[in-house]
Amino acid sequence: MVAQLRRKLRLLSLPHVARSHLVSNDRYRWFAVGDINAFFGLMLDNVAGLILVVSLLAGVFQFPAEFAVQAMVPGTAIGVFVGDLMFFALAFWLAKRTRRSDVTAMPLGLDTPSTFGMVFFVLGPAFIDGKVRLGLDEMEAARFAWHIGIWAIVMSGLFKVVCSPVSGWIRRSVPRAGLLGSLAAIALVLISFLPLLDILKTPLVGLVALAIVLTSLIGRVPLPLRVPGTLGALIVAGGMFYVLRAFGVEGYVASGEHSITPTMFPSMWLEAFEFQWLDRFSEAMKYMPIVLPFAIGTVVGGIDCTESAAAAGDEYPTGTVIFVEAIATLAAGLCGGVVQTTPYIGHPAYKQMGGRSAYTLATALLIGTAGVGGYFVYFYQIIPEAAVFPILIFVGLEITAQSFSATPTRHYAAVALACVPALAFLANSFPSQIFGDPAYSIEGLGDPGLRDKLQTLLILSNGFILTSLLWASALASIIDQRLRRAGGLFLLCGLLTVFGVIHSPVPGSPLYWPWSAEAAMVRQFALGYAVTGLLLVAWSYWLSAIGAPSDSRAEEVESE
């Protein structure tokens, strides 16, 4: 009751929520001029995500781009379509319930960390596994990876459905430093650094686009005519790109210009309804330790976005927001999509722009029809990566900044520690491409010291998302003097190591049994975790025995 009263008082005190809006009997004004700016921001973010999926698969793994566009993109776009339509309707419900005419819809789109995670840890490795281990040809290996991806998204959607009624409990149970620290690691390494390489392939265009995006979105410096920063970057940098190409400057070719034949209304994605992907359940399960942390991240992120929207004046039910996210993700997976959806952090910004709910409707219609109708391929072929990828840099920086700002100051070291395993993945990413070539192998290196370092790098990088989460959670517990909890987390690390969930010594990070040869290669890692965990537990009991503060400080920390 007290919490509800506080929230009502907060609504009345917000400068952008006039008192007349709270008691107005007028019909909900679902369209405003601000929806135009909000639409371009949300739409281009999703277009960039779709381009990123196809570009990374084709560029890094030599995945057939045409298959990705015709089989994976339509279902992924349908997830955005369903989710944004549901949030459009939810805005009407909130407007009627609160008798306000200025409600802004929650934005929804492709989850950027999951986009990178699915490409680098699920789809790409599954594609290579299909070709190398199963001996499939390129198209069949692509279909194999697609089926694994469908399973991943369907399982993520089901997980979110289960989480929706207990979303508050999940938020309390997962240490923020652990979860947000692992997201910061992904944001810095995957979302910010790797796209930066693509941006700087054409630095004249890329740096201009990046400057426009960062100045307008982070510096909050308005562009002329109040053009959205993402649209301004696309217009200016895209125009520069085609001028340079017209003058014959080398290297100025759009991402998919020569790789795909446009096909209107592609039908390959409809094969998802034949449910052949159900036969790949056992193969898909080994990727679940990678997939589910991303699903947890979107659930907690959705909770955070709901709180952010409430602070801006639009108090949506948290469970409903997570349920919408779950249904959109399920719809994407069942239609052949390979990236989960999530509420976006941009609600307060879109509300400040004056947006209502028309922008989510317009985004749903454009992204949905682009994917299913087949004209997304023109976006992929025409829009230069250097003109649209800077928005990913912005997203990565925002996630990193929020990971620190939303974490207690005393846990900053834990957030920083979470980034270390991600740096191992980054350091290993390019050597792994070299040693993925049959002509090369780590064992063939002449320098034994370098060979050992690269093997250790591989072990640390495999399963780095869970490693980041667990290490940061353990350090946060140590900082709070919850040594028994930290010890339990290290014991869990040891258990996960002997099954290959983290620290797998094999490329591709396959799971294995504790008595296998692979487990023997990382036995010292597992024993090290076990000894560390037992040490911390014993330390905690010793502190309790001498009357020193230890896990008893937990209640004090909770109240801070």
Domain span holding position 309: 2-98+107-201+257-400
In a domain, 378, yes or no: yes
How much of the chain, in percent, has pLDDT values that exceed 70? 86
Question: What is the C-alpha separation between 451 and 448, in angstroms, rounded?
Answer: 5
Domain boundary among 381, 400, 419: 400
Same domain, 18 and 129: yes
Structural tokens at position 380 = 């992929």
Q: Residues 341, 429: one domain?
A: no
How many percent of the chain have pLDDT more than 90? Answer: 35
Please check whether residues 419 and 394 belong to one and the same domain: no
Longest dimension (CA), the chain: 79
CA distance 108 to 359: 11
For residue 439, the model assigns a pLDDT of 43
Distance (Å, rounded) from C-alpha 70 to C-alpha 270?
10
Is the sign of the CA dihedral 351, 352, 355, 359 positive or negative?
Answer: negative
d(CA 115, CA 554): 36
User: How much is the mean pLDDT over the chain?
Assistant: 83
Tell me: do 356 and 433 sit in the same domain: no
Burial of 271 (0-12, 13-18, 19+ CB in 10 A): middle
Q: Which two tokens stand for residue 260?
A: 């795909």
* CA 456 – CA 276 distance, rounded (Å): 38
**72 in a domain, yes or no?**
yes
Whether residues 365 and 414 fall in one domain: no
Dist CA 184 CA 404 (whole Å): 8
**Of 168-177, 209-218, 234-243, 286-295, minimum mean pLDDT range:** 168-177
Query: Which tokens hold the place of 212?
Result: 């426009």
Asked whether residue 348 is domain-assigned, the answer is yes
Answer with the residue of higher pLDDT: 365 or 201: 365
Give kind and range of the element (H or E) at residue 110.
Answer: strand 108-110
Highest mean pLDDT among 22-31, 73-82, 500-509: 73-82
**Residue located via tokens 């997304």:** 376
Instruction: Say which residues have a Cβ less than 8 Å from residue 225's Cβ, sequence separation at least 6.
Output: none
With respect to residue 225, please indicate whether it lies within any of the assigned structural domains. no
pLDDT, average across residues 195-204? 88
Residues 6+ apart with CB under 8 A from 410: 479, 480
How far is it, in rounded angstroms, from Cα 227 to Cα 219? 15
Q: What CA–CA distances, in Å, run from 521 to 171, 286, 497, 525? A: 36, 19, 10, 9
Question: Using CA atoms, how far apart are residues 257 and 237, in angstroms rounded to an integer?
Answer: 18
Quote the number of domains for the chain.
2
Confidence class of residue 173 from pLDDT cuts 50, 70 and 90? low
d(CA 206, CA 198): 9
**Does a structural domain hold residue 229?**
no
Residue 342 φ/ψ, nearest 5 degrees? -160, 150
Please state the three-class secondary structure of 363-426 as a single string.
HHHHHHHHHHHCCHHHHHHHCCHHHHCHHHHHHHHHHHHHHHHCCCHHHHHHHHHHHHHHHHHH
The Cα-based distances of 380 to 51, 260, 262, 385, 480 in angstroms read: 6, 9, 10, 9, 48
Q: Token pair for residue 118?
A: 């699915």
Mean pLDDT is highest, among 103-112, 185-194, 330-339, for: 330-339
382 and 501 housed in the same domain? no
pLDDT of residue 140 exceeding 80, the answer is: yes
Q: Is residue 237 part of a domain?
A: no
Boundary residue ending a domain (400, 431, 452):
400
What is the number of other CB atoms lying within 10 angstroms of the CB of residue 372?
19
Length of the chain: 560
Q: How many Å apart are CA 71 and CA 65, to the nearest integer?
A: 10
Q: pLDDT tens for residues 263-318?
A: 778 889 999 999 999 999 989 988 887 787 778 778 877 877 787 677 778 889 88
Do residues 50 and 186 both lie within one domain? Answer: yes
In-domain check, residue 332:
yes
Same domain, 362 and 436: no
Measured distance CA(454)–CA(432) in Å, rounded: 9
Q: Which residue has the higher pLDDT, 520 or 143?
A: 143
Domain stops at, among 354, 375, 400: 400
Token digits for 400? 């990193």
458 and 374 co-located in one domain? no
State residue 251's pLDDT score: 72
Tell me, yes or no, whether 335 and 466 share the same domain.
Answer: no
249, part of any domain: no
Question: pTM, whole model, 2 decimals?
Answer: 0.74
Work out the pLDDT band at 254, boundaries 50, 70, 90.
Answer: low
Indicate whether 350 and 329 sit together in one domain.
Answer: yes
**In degrees to the nearest 10, what's the CA dihedral of 338, 344, 350, 351?**
140
Q: Are residues 449 and 365 in the same domain?
A: no
What's the chain's Rg over C-alpha atoms? 24
